[in-house]
Structure 1
Amino acid sequence: MILITSWEWESYIWNHLEIVEGRMQKDGHEKAVLLGKSASQMLRKQVGDSLQLLGSEFPVCGIYESTSMIESGAIVIPLGVMQSHSDNAGKINFVNLRFSPGVDKARGREICDRIENLHSGLSASLASEAAQRNSTTRAVKGMTLAVTLLSMVVGLASVMNTMLMSVFERTVEIGVLRAIGWKAARIRHMILLEATLLGISGGVLGVLLGFLVRELLYLFPSISGTIRIEIGLEAIVFTILFATVVGALSGLYPAIRASRMKPTVAFRHQ
């Protein structure tokens, strides 16, 4: 997700942007956008390219770096330009305040309380508090957690069912292994290893499928021209580790069941 933000041209916020390519807008009325470095990479846009925003073409005049992850992935437009192209003349969502040097967090919280007391409709918070209380952030985190838990349940059920069927079909084979001297622990380790490898294979396949779906989505101009789906190294590692854990956990019951199988019972199954 890429944030489109706009600031008043005279705001101090512009001063902390470090332009690494191109230039900043000439004034608060220039119809042009700045891209954060991460946004530039996700959108695959460089200085001189154009973006379709708010029903109009906006040229990219510059690319900036920021220590803030959110700002680095943002598109910045002067406030006046944003208002005129979005039918929101005279409307704003928030006001940024910069405290004087030496103001600590406790003093900052006190100032926020005084602002809120000015009017019942005003809400003021420190930057750190706003990030934690952001409803959108909470909603996304909640949805992500729900999808992750659902994926784990489905994955556990699928792999466990596969391994149980495998143990059932190999009942005679397991009986032979027990008859020739294989210990229960060795049988258990074998089934667990198979389940873990199955989980790893599923994780790798899922990552490859993710890359494929991303490239297929880019075939649609409405998507490729506005967003960039980034699959980072952390996401890849997490997916494979997650699949590995799911595979190992789902193989526990089939492994225990196979290790307790008696050779006589296995041969009778044949």
Structure 2
Amino acid sequence: MNDLIIRNITQRKFRTGLTVFGIALGIFAVMVMGGMSEYFNRHSENTLNLVDKIQVVPETGYLGGSIDESTVRKVNRVPGVSDAYGLLWMPYDVEGIGLIGDYVVGIPIDKQETTLKDTKLKSGRLLLPSDTYRAVLGSNVEREFKIKVGDELTIKSKRFRGTSSITHERNFTVVGILEYTSSDYDNVIAIPLETAQKFYELENTVSYIWVVPEPSADGEDLAKRIELSVEKITALSPQKLREQVEKTLVIINLITLSSAILAAIIGGLSVMNTMLMSVSERTKDFGLMKAMGAEIWDILYLTMGESALMGVLGGIFGIIGGGIFIYYMNEYLSSMGMVLFAITPRLIIISLLFATLLGTLSGSIPAYRAMKMNPMEAMKYG
């Protein structure tokens, strides 16, 4: 029976090819959109695992302003706070909107290990108290600028004078490069906080405050107490931050689901059309098989087997095509300091199972039609 399935498919090479291409196109879309979803899921999870502290931001939000350093001292006085310190985050591209890309991060020298948590150095060292114009780079920054320890990286700042602006630049010597983490840390250019404040003319100013709770403190409760004790700020516990990220991921995953539905429509109609034509052309053959003693399940297996095999073939080609596209797209994007796709075993397995199920279900209607044929009437066909 399996030999018959393969023979029936190979006899109609052009039609089979078009059907397989239709399924492959849909699975290609699933791989690309799913790869983006997998990357954002993994990236967000890794970032949340590294950023396990309460984040204090301006009351206007992440992009809404800055915080005076005196606020750090106020936060430190809140009962339950073990430590609090400020970070200055600035977009590396002074002409960009600051939502994506690399970030220059002013970090207190003595808080590097607390901030980086489990992130290891690929080469070089962390910043020292004696460092001024020195920098530690994330792995994406290293790839983007093709830079190594000992090289210099030019950082720019835009300074406003009345209605005009002046762009100032300075070379920073790279002293360390972090390992790849698939998190926001990959796009970080870490420099001493005091150097960053002077360079950007933002003395006594930070972007956010990171709070380390005492071991016995409840993160949610402490975040609420910080908001009540300190004015003009919003405190986000790790749990609250995770909830916000997960809401964003729901949207991304819905987009992926939409691509899967589109794949089902394209591939399903393609398989159904091919199998309906195949059943129609072989009506007499099916009648002869039933007259010779073939069970209805034999006809069902033969018909659905063909559609399932085309689904598998389409899935394989779609996975290969999507994988090649993702590889070269990531290579291209990495030259700009970005990665947007990830291929995981889960994505490959889901794509192949989806393609197989799609082919099988799409062949169910033609299979039912073939199964219900009357042998005598079918043999008179054609």
Gap change, CA 1:223 and 1:161, over 3 Å in 2: farther
- Identify the structure with the greater strand proportion: 2
Counterpart amino acid of residue 134 in structure 2: E
Gap change, CA 1:130 and 1:15, over 3 Å in 2: closer
- Is residue 116 from structure 1 mapped to residue 230 from structure 2 by the alignment? no
Q: TM-score, normalised by structure 1?
A: 0.75
Match of 1:70 in 2: 183
In the alignment, the residues of structure 2 paired with residue 187 and residue 51 of structure 1 have an alpha-carbon distance, to the nearest angstrom, of 71
5 Å matches for 1:8-87? 8-10=107-109, 11=111, 12-14=114-116, 16-26=118-128, 27=131, 29-35=133-139, 47-48=148-149, 61-64=176-179, 70=183, 74-78=186-190
In the alignment, the residues of structure 2 paired with residue 161 and residue 116 of structure 1 have an alpha-carbon distance, to the nearest angstrom, of 62
Structure having greater relative contact order (Cα 8 Å, sep ≥ 6): 2
Match of 1:141 in 2: 253
In the alignment, the residues of structure 1 paired with residue 152 and residue 266 of structure 2 have an alpha-carbon distance, to the nearest angstrom, of 40
2:141–2:188 contact (8 Å) kept in structure 1? no
1:160–1:250 contact (8 Å) kept in structure 2? yes
1:156–1:247 contact (8 Å) kept in structure 2? yes
5 Å matches for 1:1-270? 4=102, 6=105, 8-10=107-109, 11=111, 12-14=114-116, 16-26=118-128, 27=131, 29-35=133-139, 47-48=148-149, 61-64=176-179, 70=183, 74-78=186-190, 90=205, 92=207, 94-103=208-217, 107-117=218-228, 122-134=233-245, 135-217=247-329, 224-228=335-339, 229-270=341-382
Moved more, 147-156 or 39-48: 39-48
Identity of aligned residues (%): 24
Q: 3-state DSSP class of the match of 1:124?
A: strand
Bigger Rg, which one = 2
Deviations along 1:106-129, one digit per CA (max 9) or x if unpaired, are x22111222334578643332133
Deviations along 1:123-151, one digit per CA (max 9) or x if unpaired, are 33321331232253232222222222332
Q: TM-score, normalised by structure 2?
A: 0.55
2:300–2:371 contact (8 Å) kept in structure 1? yes
State the Cα RMSD in Å. 4.0
In the alignment, the residues of structure 1 paired with residue 365 and residue 336 of structure 2 have an alpha-carbon distance, to the nearest angstrom, of 48
In the alignment, the residues of structure 2 paired with residue 233 and residue 70 of structure 1 have an alpha-carbon distance, to the nearest angstrom, of 20
Deviation at 1:78, TM superposition (A): 2.1
Contiguous gaps of at least 5 residues in structure 2: 1-38, 44-100, 157-168
Moved more, 160-169 or 223-232: 223-232
Contiguous gaps of at least 5 residues in structure 1: none
Counterpart amino acid of residue 63 in structure 1: L
Deviations along 1:158-209, one digit per CA (max 9) or x if unpaired, are 2222222221222222222112111111100111111111111111000111
1:8–1:28 contact (8 Å) kept in structure 2? no
